[in-house]
Amino acid sequence: MVPYHGMSMAGHAVRSFTEKIGDVLGDAPTLIALFLVSGGYDLPAYLSEQRRLLEDKRRREVLTLRTEKTAADMHLAVLQAQIEPHFLFNTLASVRSIILTEPERAVATVDALSDYLRSTLPRLRNAATMEMPTLGAQIDICKNYLELMKIRMGGRLRIQLDVPGEAAAATFPPLLLLPLVENAIKHGIEPKAGPAMVRIRAMLTDGTLTVTVEDDGLGLRGDMGSGLGLANVQAQLRNYFGESAFLNVATVTGGGVCSSITIPAGAA
């Protein structure tokens, strides 16, 4: 008999099994070998370097944001500081003019000025550290200012406040409201003869906070839109809220001006 030189049944089974393993693994063994030969042992170092680069990128992004925030804070501080000297000089000049003829009124003016500064200066410091105050705190500043103006104008000024508790508790950027009140006095009330009124209202609805300053003075005139106070308010609104906040100044039917600020509630 001629010897059989082929493969046994067992050999065929082994080869079939081996081929199936090869089909499953494909080129993996070869790729693994090539990977190890070409520096696969450096994988941990590579991954570590990638993590370090990612952390460096995040640190740079945080530093950029902090730098931009600091620049914005400094800009706001400059804008806010521009408000104070004009008001102080006018008040001191008023005291000087009445100190001999109306000493009691001069004393009351100085007392009111002290109350105003006590309420304002700590909040200016808080603004420099970006501690966001409440609307109620800003209303207190405006109220002290109006009380001072009331004394300066011989008591002819009436003050009305309509600020619900939930609106007063809402966060509100520092010294946004005071320039509107100052404008009402300077452009509307002081040039008008006889009794006058300034009313501050606030309303919190549908995720927005609207604060309105209304007077019954002489109304809008050509120089109203170019004042430093309104420019400061617009600049601060942009810095804090971008395009999400609004300043509106309009004439009131029958005389006077209504200025309102609308911001996203809770976004300050």
Tens digit of pLDDT per residue, the chain (268 long)?
Answer: 444 444 454 444 445 544 554 454 455 555 555 555 555 555 566 567 778 788 878 777 777 666 655 555 555 555 455 545 666 777 788 888 888 888 888 888 888 888 877 776 655 555 444 456 899 989 988 998 898 889 888 889 999 999 999 999 999 988 789 889 988 998 899 888 899 999 999 999 988 999 999 999 988 766 555 455 688 788 888 888 888 999 999 998 888 999 999 999 875 5
Query: How many CA atoms are closer than 13 Å to the CA of 185, on its beta-carbon side?
Result: 24
- Does residue 115 lie within any of the structural domains? yes
- Does residue 22 lie within any of the structural domains? no
- Does residue 15 lie within any of the structural domains? no
**pLDDT for position 41:** 54
Query: How many CA atoms are closer than 13 Å to the CA of 202, on its beta-carbon side?
Result: 22
Question: Backbone phi, then psi, for 197, in 5-degree steps?
Answer: -140, 140
**pLDDT for position 244:** 92
* Dist CA 228 CA 231 (whole Å): 5
**pLDDT for position 106:** 85
- Does residue 162 lie within any of the structural domains? yes
* Dist CA 54 CA 97 (whole Å): 66
CATH code (residue 259): 3.30.565.10
- Does residue 96 lie within any of the structural domains? yes
- Does residue 235 lie within any of the structural domains? yes
User: How many structural domains is the chain composed of?
Assistant: 1
The whole domain housing 123 covers 82-264
Give pTM, 2 decimals.
Answer: 0.63
Kind and range of the H or E element at 47?
helix 43-81
- Does residue 65 lie within any of the structural domains? no
